[in-house]
Amino acid sequence: ESFNAAVEAAASLNAFIVTTPDHALDAADKADADRAAGKDLGKMAGVPIGMKDLFATNGTQTTAASHILEGFVPPYESTVSQNLWDAGAGMLGKLNLDQFAMGSSNETSYFGNVASPWRKEGSNAAMSPGGSSGGSSAAVAARIAPAATGTDTGGSIRQPAAFTGICGIKPTYGRCSRWGVVAFASSLDQAGPMARSVEDCAIMLEAMAGFDPKDSTSLDMPVPDWSAALDADLSGKRVGIPNEYRMDGTDQAILDVWEQGKEMLRDAGAEIVDVGLPHTKYALPAYYIIAPAEASSNLARYDGVRYGLRDLPDPGSASGAGGLQDMYAATREVGFGDEVKRRILIGTYVLSAGFYDAYYTQAQKIRTLVQRDFNDAFAKCDVILAPTTPTASFPLGSLNDDPLTMYLNDVFAVPASLAGLPAMSVPATVNEDGLPLGLQLVGPAFDEQVVLNAGLAIE
Ligand code: GLN
């Protein structure tokens, strides 16, 4: 009964693309049986989670919220989802997202927008749950799933977590295997948990993470027992405040909550210090060259031959001969949404012979400078505190004609992505409209613990 009620709530938010109740029930039954038999239980025994529909799930449709992958049923399981099943979790269903994880509002999905369960006080307008992990954030915020997987290429775990008042952590690049995760920008893509509390994120990340020989960029390092070492006492820790994050267009409420965050960390024993991240303003433009460049290459595999949709040109049309090129073109024309096409065009352009040095090489140099900024900053502090986003959530539809403002949503999230660093958003307060605001913690590579501990002092 409670499952059916949750299914109805989920339907009104459009958080799921498909539901898989039997998968979740089987995991619950197994947990019960193991408990009764006195067996050791996995970290996630019986926990019903939502799975972002970017993770390949054996026998269950995996679409990346695209038309081109509609009907694709993988005959294999992603490493991260397999790790979660091995830890005892079960799957409620595949969660909606921005198409191929490209977006910040969950409005680019072929399967329709996702609505946040939050509303502005005094308004009934449907609000964005953030993106691209918008089905994940909406399902967790609406208490439909206690936790969900997300992926973060340039903010897609942290921004939706901030918009919906939940926690989400992007671990160090390489902690979670990318094997079986539909690729967007491979040098940036990283999976992570989204849940109601820092502790739940820590437990779920322990289950998701780990070396995987099937991913050449996987970290060959032990997975620490983060949840056992959670400690909100920050005595002796220095928290860095990057003043370059005070940008025009940032809401006063965000600047205020940043101040409150400093107070909370000071109360937890930390010392607050100023740090410089001087190349911050170049990070977002560099991201919007690097991510589309990698996407244009990764998405070349969707050609109507190997996966999902195939479309043929209209026999009466000029290209109606129906050769291979015509089939590719017709399939990609109907199979990809507008935002995906925009990224492919930008990516192809910046990688083309005449423009490669002007755009792609420059962007890679900026990426190195951003990484160096963080190295210098972490010589002076243990963890960085910043806002997650420059604004709270916005009504669905309100930014559709304004891709640049949409891209600005990730201005504070993208630097940590370019540097491959662990970064978390924790809910901090609600603004005057009653909408949640998040604070972001960024740590040095491999130090998820300091990120989680500082998050614990704020949540
Ligand atoms: N919103 C950003 C983009 O559209 C980030 C997406 C993500 O992290 N997957 O590229």
Q: How confident is the model at residue 247 (pLDDT cuts 50, 70, 90)?
A: confident
Nearest atom in ligand 1 to the alpha carbon of residue 409 is 1
336 with 68: CB under 8 angstroms? yes
Q: What is the pLDDT of residue 320?
A: 57
- Which residue among 136, 410, 414 is best mutated to probe the pocket of ligand 1, counting the most ligand atoms within 8 A of its Cβ? 410
Residue nearest to atom 4 of ligand 1 (CA): 103
User: What per-residue confidence (pLDDT) applies to 325?
Assistant: 86
The one-letter amino acid code at 21 reads P
What is the distance in A from the centroid of ligand 1 to the CA of 154? Answer: 5
Compute, in angstroms, the gap from residue 357 CA to the centroid of ligand 1.
24
pTM score of the predicted model: 0.96
Q: Provide the residue ranges of all domains of the chain, joining segments of one domain with +.
A: 2-228, 238-283+359-422+433-458
Centroid of ligand 1 to alpha carbon of 186 (angstroms): 12
Mean pLDDT of all residues in 161-170:
98
279-296 pLDDT tens trace = 999 999 999 999 999 999
pLDDT band at residue 392 using 50, 70 and 90 as cut-offs: very high
pLDDT grade, residue 3 (50/70/90)?
low
Q: Count each helix (H run) and each strand (E run) in the chain, helices first.
A: 15, 11
pLDDT of the residue at 317: 66
Give me the catalytic one of 132, 136, 177, 393: 132
- Around 107, how many Cα atoms within 13 Å sit in the side-chain half-sphere? 17
Residues 6+ apart with CB under 8 A from 270: 234, 235, 237, 238, 239, 454, 457
Q: Which residue type does 271 have? A: E
**Least trusted range by pLDDT, from 16-25, 90-99, 400-409:** 400-409
Q: Cβ distance 169 to 157 under 8 Å?
A: yes
Predicted confidence at residue 78, as pLDDT, reads 98
Counted residue by residue, the chain has a size of 459
Helix orientation angle between 338-351 and 280-298, rounded to the nearest 10 degrees: 100
| Probe target for ligand 1 pocket from 98, 182, 190, 417, with the most ligand atoms within 8 Å of CB | 98
Q: What confidence score (pLDDT) does residue 144 get?
A: 94
- DSSP summary character for residue 269: T
Check whether 251 has a pLDDT greater than 90: no
The pLDDT score that the predictor gives to residue 111 is: 98
Q: Ligand 1 pocket by C-beta < 6 Å: which residues?
A: 101-104, 132, 152-156, 184, 291, 410
DSSP summary character for residue 149:
E
What is the predicted pLDDT for the residue at 318? 62
**Averaged over 243-258, what is the pLDDT?**
91
Digit-coded pLDDT (tens) for 15-59: 999 999 999 999 999 999 999 999 999 999 999 999 999 999 999
C-alpha–C-alpha distance, residues 239 and 458, integer Å: 13
Confidence of residue 404 (pLDDT cuts 50, 70, 90): confident
401 versus 447: the higher-pLDDT residue is 447
For residue 301, the 8-state DSSP code is G
Distance 156 CA to ligand 1 centre (A): 5
pLDDT, tens digit, for every residue of 366-380?
999 999 999 999 999
Please indicate whether residue 78 is annotated as part of the active site: no
Q: Whose CA is nearest to atom 10 of ligand 1?
A: 102
Cis geometry, peptide bond prior to residue 132 (ω within 30 degrees of 0): yes
Substitution candidate for ligand 1 out of 104, 412, 414 with most atoms within 8 A of CB: 104
Q: Which atom of ligand 1 is nearest to the CA of 159?
A: 1
92 vs 154: CA distance, rounded Å: 26
Rounded CA separation 150/192 (Å): 5
For the cut 90, the answer to whether the pLDDT of residue 88 exceeds it is: yes
Task: Judge whether residue 319 has pLDDT over 70.
Answer: no
Give me ligand 1 centre to Cα 441, in Å. Answer: 18
Catalytic residue among 52, 94, 170, 237: 52
Listed residue (357, 9, 51, 338) closest to 208, CA to CA: 51
What number does the ligand 1 atom closest to the CA of 406 have?
1
As a whole number, the mean pLDDT across the chain is 95
Q: Closest ligand 1 atom, CA of 414?
A: 5
Q: How far is the CA of 98 from the centre of ligand 1 (A)?
A: 9
62-77 pLDDT, tens digit per residue, is 999 999 999 999 999 9
Measure 161 CA to ligand 1 centroid, in angstroms.
13
CB atoms within 10 A of CB 327: 18
Q: Which tens digits make up the pLDDT trace of 431-443?
A: 999 999 999 999 9
Nearest CA to ligand 1 atom 5: 154
Token representation of residue 117: 């369960």
Tell me, yes or no, if 170 is annotated catalytic: no
| CA-angle at 377, arms to 371 and 382, nearest 5° | 115
User: Is residue 132 annotated as part of the catalytic site, yes or no?
Assistant: yes
Of residues 78, 104, 133, 156, which has the active-site annotation? 156
Work out which ligand 1 atom sits closest to the CA atom of 153: 8
**Which ligand 1 atom is at minimum distance from the Cα of 339?**
4
Cβ proximity of 160 and 140 under 8 Å = no
Ligand 1 centroid from CA 104, angstroms: 6
**Angstrom distance (rounded) from CA 326 to CA 313:** 6
Residue 142, classed as helix, strand or coil, is coil
Q: Are 344 and 295 in contact (CB under 8 A)?
A: yes
* 155 CA → ligand 1 middle, Å: 6
pLDDT tens per residue, range 198-229: 999 999 999 999 999 999 999 999 999 999 99
- What is the ipTM for the molecules in this complex? 0.98
Yes or no: is domain 2-228 CATH 3.90.1300.10? yes
Closest ligand 1 atom number to CA of residue 102: 4
Mutate to test the pocket of ligand 1, among 156, 400, 405 (most ligand atoms within 8 A of CB): 156
Please state, for a pLDDT cut of 70, what percent of the chain lies above it.
97
Residue range 109-128, pLDDT digits in tens: 999 999 999 999 999 999 99
In this predicted structure, the answer to whether residue 9 has a pLDDT above a threshold of 80 is no
Over residues 287-315, the mean pLDDT reads: 91
